[in-house]
Amino acid sequence: MDYERIHTPVMLDRTVELLAPALEGDGAVLVDATLGMGGHTRAFLERFPNLTVIGLDRDTDALGIARERLAAFGDRARFVHTVYDGIAGAVRSEGFPEVQGVLFDLGVSSLQLDRAERGFAYSKDAPLDMRMDATRGRTAADVVAESSEDELRRIFLDYGEEKLAARYARAIVRARAEQPILRSAELVEIIQAATPVAIQRQGHPAKRVFQALRIEVNEELSVLERALPAALDALAVGGRLVSLAYQSLEDRIVKRVLQAASSSTAPAGLPMELPEHRPQFKLLVRGAELATEAEQADNPRAKPVRLRAAERVRRAS
């Protein structure tokens, strides 16, 4: 497989620019919390000759590819099979008390989308799986088969922001009573049949349902809620975190966590801010940055990205 063709790291230059001030010293450590096929990590290892990268991923296929692509960097590239909320344990297991950088490149990877057998893509028929770690956990077919109509409606509404959540949940429950829904094409057919023609013209009707099922199967939002505070806690003073989010639900979580970390904890009404109340982090970009128009044209997967970044300025006493 041509990994260079299917995987172009998103906002690579900007990511390097933001993390560079924290990674230029001897002995710097970067955690790539979503290693994937190692595109971002390879760029950092090439740019910073004294850098060590700890790459985390729950996908064993991705880890295998990354090990192969990064073999030339020897012990400077470390690999840990874990979900990214396991960042604290991964850093400790590699023998480091703290790190100088953390990168989150969130969402589904190019490898997962382009391998039809993984079942992530609504445009390709495959077993309805969607597990990022194919060695464990419930599949999307399990969720579709076992969830009540109310649970399906909640999943589609909360994780897909799907306006037709109730209609789709009802259609799925009706269809599975006749035969199991085991393949992505079967689910797409059910969704399309339940979608008014006028709405079908606005885009593929299965897009939000598949996003919602993927998030449910992989517990992506709850994992991110735990991972971000752990990542911030692992950063040394002067250390930096960069996050790339591709859908609004993830970006809202990143925004909320970084805003809280960069805000004063002084109680309202105090005449002055005491040192212990000063923020431990500062934001490095205003709001969320987008990929340039040129990058969006060259790499369609960069179109929805929202970049946020922060730097640790002090530790609590």
- The pLDDT of residue 13: 95
Same domain, 158 and 189: yes
Q: Would you say residue 317 lies in a domain?
A: no
Same domain, 193 and 243: no
- 39 marked as binding residue: yes
Q: Would you say residue 9 lies in a domain?
A: yes
Residue 108: exposure state from Cβ atoms within 10 A (0-12, 13-18, ≥19): buried
H or E segment to which residue 57 belongs:
strand 52-57
Cα-based distances in Å from 232 to 63, 175, 312: 24, 45, 8
Report residue 259 CA to chain centroid gap: 19
Domain endpoint, select from 218, 242, 270 = 218
- 107 marked as binding residue: no
- The pLDDT of residue 107: 80
Report d(CA 18, CA 51) in Å as an integer.
15
Q: Would you say residue 64 lies in a domain?
A: yes
Same domain, 104 and 228: yes
- 142 marked as binding residue: no
- 57 marked as binding residue: yes
Range of the domain at 303: 3-111+220-312
Same domain, 147 and 177: yes
- The pLDDT of residue 117: 60
- The pLDDT of residue 131: 92
Question: What CATH number does residue 121 fall under?
Answer: 1.10.150.170
- The pLDDT of residue 111: 57
Same domain, 184 and 269: no
Structure tokens at 3: 């990994």
Same domain, 147 and 129: yes
- pLDDT, tens digit, 9 for 90 and up, residues 211-221: 999 999 999 99
Cα-based distances in Å from 249 to 29, 217, 218, 239: 29, 16, 14, 26
- 26 marked as binding residue: no
Question: What CATH number does residue 270 fall under?
Answer: 3.40.50.150
DSSP three-state, residue 312 = strand
Residuewise pLDDT in 10s, the chain (317 residues): 545 555 689 999 999 999 999 999 899 999 999 999 999 999 999 999 999 999 999 999 889 999 999 999 999 999 999 999 999 999 999 999 999 999 999 987 665 555 656 667 788 899 999 998 888 889 999 999 999 999 999 999 999 999 999 999 999 999 999 999 999 999 999 999 999 988 877 778 899 999 999 999 999 999 999 999 999 999 999 999 999 999 999 999 999 999 999 987 667 666 666 677 689 999 999 999 999 999 999 998 899 999 999 999 998 87
Report d(CA 299, CA 278) in Å as an integer.
40
Q: Look over the chain and give the mean of its residue pLDDT values, rounded to a whole number.
A: 91
